Protein backbone atom coordinates (compact mmCIF):
# COMPACT_ATOMS: atom_id res chain seq x y z
CA UNK A 1 0.00 0.00 0.00
CA UNK A 2 1.12 3.55 -0.67
CA UNK A 3 2.17 5.82 2.15
CA UNK A 4 -0.46 6.54 4.79
CA UNK A 5 -1.50 10.20 4.96
CA UNK A 6 -3.89 11.35 7.69
CA UNK A 7 -5.02 14.76 8.83
CA UNK A 8 -6.78 16.67 11.54
CA UNK A 9 -9.16 19.28 10.15
CA UNK A 10 -10.46 21.44 12.99
CA UNK A 11 -12.78 24.38 12.53
CA UNK A 12 -11.29 27.39 14.33
CA UNK A 13 -14.42 28.56 16.06
CA UNK A 14 -13.47 28.57 19.72
CA UNK A 15 -11.00 26.83 21.99
CA UNK A 16 -9.45 23.47 21.09
CA UNK A 17 -11.82 20.80 22.35
CA UNK A 18 -10.48 17.71 24.04
CA UNK A 19 -12.36 15.62 21.44
CA UNK A 20 -10.43 17.36 18.67
CA UNK A 21 -7.23 16.55 20.53
CA UNK A 22 -8.18 12.89 20.69
CA UNK A 23 -9.02 12.80 16.98
CA UNK A 24 -5.71 14.50 16.22
CA UNK A 25 -3.89 11.98 18.39
CA UNK A 26 -5.51 8.99 16.69
CA UNK A 27 -4.57 10.36 13.27
CA UNK A 28 -1.05 11.08 14.46
CA UNK A 29 -0.62 7.62 15.95
CA UNK A 30 -1.99 5.92 12.87
CA UNK A 31 0.31 7.83 10.51
CA UNK A 32 3.42 7.92 12.66
CA UNK A 33 3.18 4.24 13.47
CA UNK A 34 3.26 3.46 9.75
CA UNK A 35 5.94 5.84 8.54
CA UNK A 36 3.15 7.99 7.13
CA UNK A 37 2.35 11.68 7.10
CA UNK A 38 0.08 13.60 9.41
CA UNK A 39 -1.26 16.93 8.13
CA UNK A 40 -3.15 19.86 9.63
CA UNK A 41 -5.90 21.72 7.83
CA UNK A 42 -7.71 24.63 9.37
CA UNK A 43 -11.32 24.54 8.20
CA UNK A 44 -11.90 28.26 8.20
CA UNK A 45 -14.49 28.46 5.43
CA UNK A 46 -17.14 29.73 7.81
CA UNK A 47 -15.93 33.33 7.88
CA UNK A 48 -18.37 34.44 10.52
CA UNK A 49 -17.40 31.86 13.09
CA UNK A 50 -13.69 31.41 12.32
CA UNK A 51 -11.20 33.54 14.24
CA UNK A 52 -7.42 33.83 14.19
CA UNK A 53 -7.43 33.41 17.98
CA UNK A 54 -9.09 30.04 17.61
CA UNK A 55 -6.51 29.01 15.01
CA UNK A 56 -3.75 30.03 17.42
CA UNK A 57 -5.36 27.96 20.17
CA UNK A 58 -5.30 24.93 17.87
CA UNK A 59 -1.65 25.48 16.94
CA UNK A 60 -0.69 25.91 20.61
CA UNK A 61 -2.67 22.82 21.59
CA UNK A 62 -1.00 20.70 18.92
CA UNK A 63 2.39 21.95 19.99
CA UNK A 64 1.78 21.31 23.67
CA UNK A 65 0.51 17.81 22.97
CA UNK A 66 3.58 17.14 20.86
CA UNK A 67 1.47 16.24 17.82
CA UNK A 68 3.86 17.36 15.14
CA UNK A 69 2.41 17.65 11.66
CA UNK A 70 4.14 17.59 8.31
CA UNK A 71 4.51 20.79 6.33
CA UNK A 72 2.52 23.95 6.93
CA UNK A 73 -1.04 24.13 8.21
CA UNK A 74 -3.39 24.43 5.22
CA UNK A 75 -6.11 27.09 5.24
CA UNK A 76 -9.28 25.77 3.66
CA UNK A 77 -10.62 29.23 2.93
CA UNK A 78 -7.57 30.10 0.84
CA UNK A 79 -8.34 27.17 -1.44
CA UNK A 80 -11.87 28.34 -2.32
CA UNK A 81 -10.98 28.89 -6.01
CA UNK A 82 -9.81 25.33 -6.32
CA UNK A 83 -13.03 24.05 -4.71
CA UNK A 84 -15.09 26.07 -7.17
CA UNK A 85 -12.96 24.75 -10.05
CA UNK A 86 -13.97 21.19 -9.15
CA UNK A 87 -17.65 22.17 -9.11
CA UNK A 88 -17.27 23.74 -12.56
CA UNK A 89 -15.54 20.62 -13.79
CA UNK A 90 -18.48 18.50 -12.63
CA UNK A 91 -20.81 20.99 -14.32
CA UNK A 92 -18.95 20.67 -17.60
CA UNK A 93 -19.08 16.89 -17.34
CA UNK A 94 -22.82 16.92 -16.78
CA UNK A 95 -22.38 15.48 -13.28
CA UNK A 96 -23.66 18.66 -11.70
CA UNK A 97 -26.19 21.20 -12.88
CA UNK A 98 -27.31 24.76 -12.45
CA UNK A 99 -30.41 25.01 -10.32
CA UNK A 100 -32.44 28.21 -10.58
CA UNK A 101 -35.09 27.31 -8.02
CA UNK A 102 -35.70 30.09 -5.54
CA UNK A 103 -36.00 29.59 -1.78
CA UNK A 104 -39.74 30.19 -2.09
CA UNK A 105 -40.06 27.48 -4.75
CA UNK A 106 -38.09 25.03 -2.66
CA UNK A 107 -40.32 25.76 0.30
CA UNK A 108 -43.39 25.28 -1.85
CA UNK A 109 -42.04 21.91 -3.01
CA UNK A 110 -41.49 20.81 0.57
CA UNK A 111 -44.89 21.94 1.77
CA UNK A 112 -46.62 20.08 -1.05
CA UNK A 113 -44.51 16.97 -0.44
CA UNK A 114 -45.37 17.04 3.25
CA UNK A 115 -49.07 17.47 2.51
CA UNK A 116 -48.95 14.50 0.16
CA UNK A 117 -46.88 12.40 2.52
CA UNK A 118 -43.91 12.20 0.11
CA UNK A 119 -40.24 12.66 0.95
CA UNK A 120 -39.50 16.33 1.52
CA UNK A 121 -36.04 16.05 -0.03
CA UNK A 122 -35.96 18.67 -2.74
CA UNK A 123 -35.98 17.42 -6.31
CA UNK A 124 -34.96 20.20 -8.60
CA UNK A 125 -36.80 20.62 -11.88
CA UNK A 126 -33.52 21.83 -13.36
CA UNK A 127 -31.64 18.55 -13.01
CA UNK A 128 -32.22 17.49 -16.58
CA UNK A 129 -33.23 20.83 -18.06
CA UNK A 130 -31.91 21.85 -21.45
CA UNK A 131 -29.31 24.63 -20.90
CA UNK A 132 -31.08 26.61 -23.64
CA UNK A 133 -33.99 27.02 -21.27
CA UNK A 134 -31.79 28.49 -18.51
CA UNK A 135 -32.94 31.94 -17.42
CA UNK A 136 -30.56 34.81 -16.76
CA UNK A 137 -30.99 34.52 -13.02
CA UNK A 138 -29.00 33.51 -9.95
CA UNK A 139 -28.37 29.79 -9.58
CA UNK A 140 -26.68 27.30 -7.32
CA UNK A 141 -24.68 24.33 -8.61
CA UNK A 142 -26.02 20.99 -7.44
CA UNK A 143 -24.46 17.57 -7.80
CA UNK A 144 -26.53 14.86 -9.55
CA UNK A 145 -26.89 12.30 -6.82
CA UNK A 146 -27.61 8.70 -7.79
CA UNK A 147 -31.38 8.20 -7.73
CA UNK A 148 -31.43 4.51 -6.97
CA UNK A 149 -29.29 1.97 -5.17
CA UNK A 150 -27.33 2.38 -1.97
CA UNK A 151 -24.15 3.97 -0.75
CA UNK A 152 -22.11 1.80 1.59
CA UNK A 153 -19.61 3.46 3.85
CA UNK A 154 -17.05 0.80 4.70
CA UNK A 155 -16.19 2.22 8.05
CA UNK A 156 -13.25 0.77 9.93
CA UNK A 157 -14.92 1.31 13.28
CA UNK A 158 -18.64 1.07 12.62
CA UNK A 159 -18.48 -1.63 9.94
CA UNK A 160 -20.51 -1.23 6.75
CA UNK A 161 -23.02 1.57 7.00
CA UNK A 162 -25.60 1.50 4.23
CA UNK A 163 -27.53 4.56 3.15
CA UNK A 164 -30.25 4.46 0.53
CA UNK A 165 -29.45 6.85 -2.28
CA UNK A 166 -33.02 8.11 -2.45
CA UNK A 167 -32.34 9.61 0.98
CA UNK A 168 -29.62 11.82 -0.45
CA UNK A 169 -30.68 14.96 -2.25
CA UNK A 170 -28.81 16.79 -4.97
CA UNK A 171 -26.49 18.60 -2.62
CA UNK A 172 -25.50 22.18 -3.38
CA UNK A 173 -21.80 22.49 -4.31
CA UNK A 174 -21.66 26.19 -5.11
CA UNK A 175 -23.91 28.83 -3.59
CA UNK A 176 -25.53 31.47 -5.75
CA UNK A 177 -22.64 33.84 -4.98
CA UNK A 178 -20.26 31.24 -6.41
CA UNK A 179 -18.73 30.25 -3.07
CA UNK A 180 -18.14 26.54 -2.42
CA UNK A 181 -19.93 24.73 0.39
CA UNK A 182 -18.05 23.06 3.20
CA UNK A 183 -18.81 19.52 2.05
CA UNK A 184 -17.15 20.13 -1.32
CA UNK A 185 -14.17 21.85 0.30
CA UNK A 186 -13.48 18.85 2.58
CA UNK A 187 -13.44 16.38 -0.31
CA UNK A 188 -11.31 18.50 -2.62
CA UNK A 189 -8.84 19.29 0.14
CA UNK A 190 -8.59 15.69 1.27
CA UNK A 191 -8.02 14.60 -2.31
CA UNK A 192 -5.43 17.29 -3.08
CA UNK A 193 -3.63 16.67 0.19
CA UNK A 194 -3.41 12.99 -0.67
CA UNK A 195 -5.32 11.89 2.43
CA UNK A 196 -5.56 8.10 2.47
CA UNK A 197 -7.37 7.68 5.79
CA UNK A 198 -10.08 9.95 7.16
CA UNK A 199 -10.27 9.43 10.92
CA UNK A 200 -12.76 11.75 12.62
CA UNK A 201 -15.72 12.00 14.97
CA UNK A 202 -18.80 9.99 14.13
CA UNK A 203 -20.85 13.17 13.94
CA UNK A 204 -19.42 13.23 10.40
CA UNK A 205 -20.56 9.74 9.47
CA UNK A 206 -23.60 10.97 7.55
CA UNK A 207 -21.43 13.47 5.72
CA UNK A 208 -19.31 10.61 4.45
CA UNK A 209 -22.11 9.35 2.19
CA UNK A 210 -22.49 12.78 0.63
CA UNK A 211 -18.77 13.26 0.35
CA UNK A 212 -18.42 9.88 -1.36
CA UNK A 213 -20.79 11.16 -4.02
CA UNK A 214 -18.27 13.85 -4.95
CA UNK A 215 -15.35 11.38 -4.98
CA UNK A 216 -17.33 9.09 -7.27
CA UNK A 217 -18.42 11.88 -9.58
CA UNK A 218 -14.80 13.01 -9.92
CA UNK A 219 -13.56 9.44 -10.38
CA UNK A 220 -11.29 9.80 -7.36
CA UNK A 221 -10.35 6.84 -5.16
CA UNK A 222 -12.12 6.92 -1.81
CA UNK A 223 -10.13 7.32 1.40
CA UNK A 224 -10.47 4.73 4.15
CA UNK A 225 -12.99 5.98 6.70
CA UNK A 226 -12.86 5.50 10.45
CA UNK A 227 -15.49 7.35 12.49
CA UNK A 228 -14.82 7.60 16.20
CA UNK A 229 -17.57 7.37 18.79
CA UNK A 230 -18.21 10.40 20.96
CA UNK A 231 -16.62 11.20 24.28
CA UNK A 232 -19.08 11.26 27.17
CA UNK A 233 -18.80 12.66 30.64
CA UNK A 234 -18.63 10.37 33.69
CA UNK A 235 -22.45 10.41 33.90
CA UNK A 236 -22.84 9.08 30.35
CA UNK A 237 -24.01 12.39 28.89
CA UNK A 238 -22.18 14.13 26.06
CA UNK A 239 -18.98 15.68 27.44
CA UNK A 240 -19.56 19.33 28.17
CA UNK A 241 -18.24 22.04 30.43
CA UNK A 242 -20.60 20.77 33.10
CA UNK A 243 -18.31 17.77 33.55
CA UNK A 244 -15.20 19.91 33.99
CA UNK A 245 -12.70 21.21 31.51
CA UNK A 246 -13.28 20.50 27.83
CA UNK A 247 -10.52 22.69 26.45
CA UNK A 248 -7.04 21.31 25.82
CA UNK A 249 -5.51 24.45 27.26
CA UNK A 250 -7.27 23.87 30.56
CA UNK A 251 -5.53 20.52 30.93
CA UNK A 252 -2.23 22.20 30.29
CA UNK A 253 -2.86 24.74 33.05
CA UNK A 254 -4.08 21.96 35.36
CA UNK A 255 -0.52 20.68 35.18
CA UNK A 256 -0.83 17.41 33.31
CA UNK A 257 2.26 16.35 31.39
CA UNK A 258 1.77 16.05 27.64
CA UNK A 259 2.90 12.40 27.63
CA UNK A 260 0.31 11.54 30.28
CA UNK A 261 -2.35 13.37 28.33
CA UNK A 262 -1.44 11.51 25.14
CA UNK A 263 -1.54 8.21 27.00
CA UNK A 264 -4.91 9.01 28.52
CA UNK A 265 -6.46 10.30 25.30
CA UNK A 266 -5.22 7.23 23.46
CA UNK A 267 -7.03 5.07 26.00
CA UNK A 268 -10.18 7.13 25.58
CA UNK A 269 -11.95 4.90 23.10
CA UNK A 270 -9.04 2.69 22.13
CA UNK A 271 -7.38 -0.19 23.91
CA UNK A 272 -4.57 -2.63 23.48
CA UNK A 273 -5.31 -5.60 25.70
CA UNK A 274 -5.13 -4.56 29.34
CA UNK A 275 -2.39 -2.01 28.81
CA UNK A 276 -3.03 1.24 30.63
CA UNK A 277 0.36 2.92 30.92
CA UNK A 278 2.40 3.08 27.74
CA UNK A 279 4.91 5.20 25.89
CA UNK A 280 4.48 6.92 22.53
CA UNK A 281 6.66 4.29 20.93
CA UNK A 282 4.33 1.58 22.16
CA UNK A 283 1.12 3.32 21.18
CA UNK A 284 2.49 4.12 17.72
CA UNK A 285 3.37 0.50 17.27
CA UNK A 286 0.09 -0.82 18.68
CA UNK A 287 -2.48 1.65 17.41
CA UNK A 288 -4.90 0.14 14.95
CA UNK A 289 -8.57 0.43 14.06
CA UNK A 290 -9.42 -2.94 15.56
CA UNK A 291 -8.67 -1.56 19.04
CA UNK A 292 -11.16 1.32 18.73
CA UNK A 293 -14.35 0.80 20.70
CA UNK A 294 -17.64 0.95 18.86
CA UNK A 295 -19.41 2.59 21.76
CA UNK A 296 -18.80 6.02 23.22
CA UNK A 297 -15.92 6.52 25.65
CA UNK A 298 -16.38 8.01 29.11
CA UNK A 299 -14.02 10.64 30.37
CA UNK A 300 -12.49 9.45 33.64
CA UNK A 301 -10.56 12.09 35.57
CA UNK A 302 -9.21 9.56 38.08
CA UNK A 303 -7.64 7.55 35.32
CA UNK A 304 -6.16 10.66 33.76
CA UNK A 305 -4.60 11.61 37.10
CA UNK A 306 -3.28 8.15 37.64
CA UNK A 307 -1.62 8.00 34.23
CA UNK A 308 -0.38 11.53 34.60
CA UNK A 309 1.35 10.59 37.86
CA UNK A 310 2.97 7.59 36.27
CA UNK A 311 4.30 9.67 33.39
CA UNK A 312 5.68 12.32 35.74
CA UNK A 313 7.46 9.59 37.71
CA UNK A 314 8.85 7.98 34.58
CA UNK A 315 9.98 11.19 32.90
CA UNK A 316 13.57 12.08 32.21
CA UNK A 317 14.54 14.82 34.69
CA UNK A 318 15.93 17.32 32.19
CA UNK A 319 12.86 17.10 29.96
CA UNK A 320 10.55 17.16 32.98
CA UNK A 321 12.16 20.35 34.25
CA UNK A 322 11.59 22.08 30.91
CA UNK A 323 7.98 20.97 30.92
CA UNK A 324 7.44 22.23 34.47
CA UNK A 325 9.00 25.59 33.63
CA UNK A 326 6.67 25.86 30.59
CA UNK A 327 3.74 24.96 32.83
CA UNK A 328 4.71 27.71 35.30
CA UNK A 329 4.88 30.22 32.51
CA UNK A 330 1.55 29.11 31.08
CA UNK A 331 -0.04 29.39 34.53
CA UNK A 332 1.41 32.87 35.12
CA UNK A 333 3.59 31.70 38.02
CA UNK A 334 6.68 33.70 38.90
CA UNK A 335 9.71 33.12 36.72
CA UNK A 336 12.35 31.09 38.53
CA UNK A 337 15.89 32.43 38.69
CA UNK A 338 18.38 30.15 36.96
CA UNK A 339 19.86 28.79 40.19
CA UNK A 340 16.41 28.05 41.62
CA UNK A 341 15.40 26.28 38.42
CA UNK A 342 18.64 24.29 38.59
CA UNK A 343 17.82 23.37 42.20
CA UNK A 344 14.38 22.25 41.13
CA UNK A 345 16.03 20.09 38.50
CA UNK A 346 18.22 18.50 41.19
CA UNK A 347 15.18 17.95 43.41
CA UNK A 348 13.05 16.18 40.81
CA UNK A 349 14.26 12.70 41.65
CA UNK A 350 12.82 12.94 45.15
CA UNK A 351 9.54 14.72 44.37
CA UNK A 352 8.31 13.25 41.11
CA UNK A 353 7.23 9.89 42.42
CA UNK A 354 3.89 10.68 43.91
CA UNK A 355 2.75 13.83 42.12
CA UNK A 356 -0.29 13.52 39.86
CA UNK A 357 0.17 16.98 38.41
CA UNK A 358 2.94 19.57 38.12
CA UNK A 359 1.12 21.61 40.76
CA UNK A 360 1.42 18.77 43.25
CA UNK A 361 5.04 18.27 42.29
CA UNK A 362 5.82 21.93 42.91
CA UNK A 363 4.14 21.71 46.32
CA UNK A 364 6.43 18.86 47.23
CA UNK A 365 9.41 20.76 45.86
CA UNK A 366 8.56 23.86 47.85
CA UNK A 367 11.69 23.47 50.00
CA UNK A 368 13.91 24.27 47.02
CA UNK A 369 11.78 27.14 45.76
CA UNK A 370 11.64 29.13 48.98
CA UNK A 371 14.34 31.46 50.18
CA UNK A 372 15.78 32.15 53.60
CA UNK A 373 14.54 33.22 56.04
CA UNK A 374 11.86 30.59 55.61
CA UNK A 375 8.31 31.16 56.61
CA UNK A 376 7.54 28.28 58.94
CA UNK A 377 4.04 26.83 58.88
CA UNK A 378 2.29 26.55 62.22
CA UNK A 379 2.36 22.78 62.27
CA UNK A 380 6.08 22.79 61.57
CA UNK A 381 6.63 25.52 64.12
CA UNK A 382 5.32 23.14 66.80
CA UNK A 383 8.27 20.89 66.03
CA UNK A 384 10.74 23.55 67.06
CA UNK A 385 10.95 23.18 70.84
CA UNK A 386 13.76 22.90 73.36
CA UNK A 387 14.48 19.27 72.46
CA UNK A 388 14.74 20.27 68.83
CA UNK A 389 17.07 23.06 69.81
CA UNK A 390 19.40 20.65 71.45
CA UNK A 391 19.21 18.26 68.48
CA UNK A 392 20.01 21.06 66.03
CA UNK A 393 22.77 22.26 68.32
CA UNK A 394 24.47 18.88 68.21
CA UNK A 395 23.87 18.24 64.53
CA UNK A 396 24.73 21.54 62.92
CA UNK A 397 28.46 21.76 63.73
CA UNK A 398 28.98 18.21 62.54
CA UNK A 399 27.43 19.01 59.19
CA UNK A 400 30.44 21.16 58.41
CA UNK A 401 32.73 18.18 58.23
CA UNK A 402 30.62 15.22 57.24
CA UNK A 403 31.00 13.97 53.69
CA UNK A 404 27.90 15.14 51.78
CA UNK A 405 26.59 11.73 50.79
CA UNK A 406 23.42 9.84 51.59
CA UNK A 407 25.21 7.20 53.67
CA UNK A 408 27.24 9.67 55.71
CA UNK A 409 24.27 11.96 56.36
CA UNK A 410 22.06 9.07 57.36
CA UNK A 411 24.69 7.75 59.72
CA UNK A 412 25.11 11.20 61.25
CA UNK A 413 21.40 11.81 61.80
CA UNK A 414 21.03 8.35 63.33
CA UNK A 415 23.91 9.00 65.61
CA UNK A 416 22.40 12.30 66.79
CA UNK A 417 19.07 10.53 67.39
CA UNK A 418 20.78 7.89 69.47
CA UNK A 419 22.67 10.49 71.47
CA UNK A 420 19.33 12.10 72.33
CA UNK A 421 17.75 8.73 72.95
CA UNK A 422 15.03 9.36 70.42
CA UNK A 423 14.06 7.65 67.16
CA UNK A 424 14.92 8.94 63.69
CA UNK A 425 11.40 10.33 63.36
CA UNK A 426 11.84 12.65 66.33
CA UNK A 427 14.87 14.15 64.64
CA UNK A 428 13.23 14.30 61.24
CA UNK A 429 10.37 16.52 62.48
CA UNK A 430 12.48 19.52 63.45
CA UNK A 431 14.72 18.97 60.46
CA UNK A 432 11.73 19.16 58.12
CA UNK A 433 10.61 22.33 59.85
CA UNK A 434 14.09 23.79 59.56
CA UNK A 435 14.84 22.75 55.99
CA UNK A 436 11.42 23.34 54.43
CA UNK A 437 9.25 25.22 56.94
CA UNK A 438 6.73 22.42 56.50
CA UNK A 439 5.79 19.21 58.26
CA UNK A 440 5.19 17.17 55.11
CA UNK A 441 8.23 17.11 52.85
CA UNK A 442 10.52 14.76 50.95
CA UNK A 443 12.96 12.88 53.16
CA UNK A 444 15.26 15.09 55.19
CA UNK A 445 18.33 13.39 53.75
CA UNK A 446 17.13 14.08 50.20
CA UNK A 447 16.44 17.70 51.08
CA UNK A 448 19.92 18.13 52.52
CA UNK A 449 21.49 16.51 49.48
CA UNK A 450 19.53 18.78 47.14
CA UNK A 451 20.03 21.98 49.15
CA UNK A 452 23.75 21.38 49.65
CA UNK A 453 25.86 21.90 52.73
CA UNK A 454 25.89 25.70 53.05
CA UNK A 455 22.19 26.22 52.55
CA UNK A 456 21.28 23.31 54.83
CA UNK A 457 23.48 24.56 57.65
CA UNK A 458 22.14 28.10 57.23
CA UNK A 459 18.54 26.90 57.43
CA UNK A 460 19.26 24.82 60.53
CA UNK A 461 20.87 27.80 62.20
CA UNK A 462 17.88 29.99 61.34
CA UNK A 463 15.54 27.40 62.86
CA UNK A 464 17.63 27.03 65.98
CA UNK A 465 17.04 30.68 66.70
CA UNK A 466 13.30 30.11 66.41
CA UNK A 467 13.02 27.21 68.85
CA UNK A 468 10.73 27.85 71.78
CA UNK A 469 10.29 26.15 75.14
Q: In this chain, which stretch among 7-15, 84-92, 129-137, 281-289 interacts with ligand GLU, using CB under 6 A? A: 7-15
- Please list every residue from 193 through 222 that binds ligand GLU, using CB under 6 A: 200, 204
Nearer to ligand GLU, 186 or 315 (CB): 186
Closest separation in Å from C-beta 186 to ligand GLU: 5
- Nearest residue by C-beta to ligand GLU? 200
Kindly state whether residue 315 participates in binding ligand GLU, applying the rule CB under 6 A. no
Nearer to ligand GLU, 43 or 446 (CB): 43
Closest separation in Å from C-beta 162 to ligand GLU: 20
Nearer to ligand GLU, 23 or 438 (CB): 23
Kindly state whether residue 155 participates in binding ligand GLU, applying the rule CB under 6 A. no
Nearer to ligand GLU, 197 or 298 (CB): 197
- Total residues at the site for ligand GLU (CB under 6 A)? 7
Among 96, 141, 185, 186, binds ligand GLU (CB under 6 A): 186
Q: Could you confirm whether 356 is annotated as catalytic? A: no
Kindly state whether residue 9 participates in binding ligand GLU, applying the rule CB under 6 A. yes
Q: In this chain, which stretch among 9-17, 148-156, 171-179, 294-302 interacts with ligand GLU, using CB under 6 A? A: 9-17
Closest separation in Å from C-beta 42 to ligand GLU: 9
Q: Of 164, 238, 241, 379, which one is the catalytic site residue?
A: 241
Closest separation in Å from C-beta 43 to ligand GLU: 4
Closest separation in Å from C-beta 30 to ligand GLU: 14
| Rounded CA separation 96/76 (Å) | 22
- Please list every residue from 35 through 94 that binds ligand GLU, using CB under 6 A: 43
Closest separation in Å from C-beta 52 to ligand GLU: 17
| Rounded CA separation 102/457 (Å) | 87
Kindly state whether residue 10 participates in binding ligand GLU, applying the rule CB under 6 A. yes
Indicate which residues carry an active-site annotation: 241
Enumerate binding residues for ligand GLU (CB under 6 A): 9-11, 43, 186, 200, 204
Amino acid sequence: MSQVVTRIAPSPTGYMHIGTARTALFNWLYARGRGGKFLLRIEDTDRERSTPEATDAILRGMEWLGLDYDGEAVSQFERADRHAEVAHHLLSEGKAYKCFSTQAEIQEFRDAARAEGRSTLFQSPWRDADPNTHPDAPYVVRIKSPETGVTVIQDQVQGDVTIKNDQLDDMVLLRSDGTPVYMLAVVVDDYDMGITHVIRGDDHLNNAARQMMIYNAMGWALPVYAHLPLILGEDGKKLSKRHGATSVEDYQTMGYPAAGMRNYLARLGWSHGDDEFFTDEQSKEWFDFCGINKSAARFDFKKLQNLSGQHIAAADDAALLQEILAYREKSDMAHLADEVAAGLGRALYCVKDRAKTFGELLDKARFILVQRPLEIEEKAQNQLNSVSHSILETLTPQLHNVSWSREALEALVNQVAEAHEVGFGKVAGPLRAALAGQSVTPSVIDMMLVLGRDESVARLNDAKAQCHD
